[in-house]
Structure 1
């Protein structure tokens, strides 16, 4: 069962599979998420999920058991 992923603020929606890396989903959608270390340490790739939780997208995947997910990219002026 695919998950509908909506990227904000660009308002781009794409279907993804549970377990698919978030950076790959964003790339397929034409969305650029800044990265640094690719290990979750530098937090350059932080995104907000469903206005609740902040995660590092470089070490995160589409969670199972969801029909939709909203990912809000915010810009960090230090990156």
Structure 2
């Protein structure tokens, strides 16, 4: 359970999920995740064909107006090689 306005990284940690972070300022992109939002209206939900929002988790707050939010880590072959945005 989480409330709108809570930090996405803190909610993930509370749920036992570690989101990799780097600069903690939203600059480096290490923490980019896909956010799927659910309102209960299938036509408006992210899983119903609309694209998920791509956000930088270290500076993102949970949005209001959704009954459920799911987060998926980005799959990128470059991140994780050396730990830096190079």
Normalising by structure 2, what TM-score? 0.69
Unaligned runs of 5+ in 2: 37-50, 81-86
**Partner of residue 32, structure 1:** 18
Residue 25 of structure 1 and its aligned partner are, at CA, apart by 0.2
**Could you tell me how far apart the structure 1 residues matched to 2:75 and 2:18 are?**
11
- State the Cα RMSD in Å: 1.3
Unaligned runs of 5+ in 1: 1-14
Residue 74 of structure 1 and its aligned partner are, at CA, apart by 2.8
Structure number with the higher strand fraction is 1
**Partner of residue 64, structure 1:** 64
**Could you tell me how far apart the structure 2 residues matched to 1:52 and 1:74 are?**
11
Normalising by structure 1, what TM-score? 0.75
Q: Which runs of 4+ in 1 moved over 6 A?
A: none
1:17-52 Cα deviation digits (max 9, x unpaired): 110000100110010000000011000000001152
Residue aligned with 1:43, SS: coil
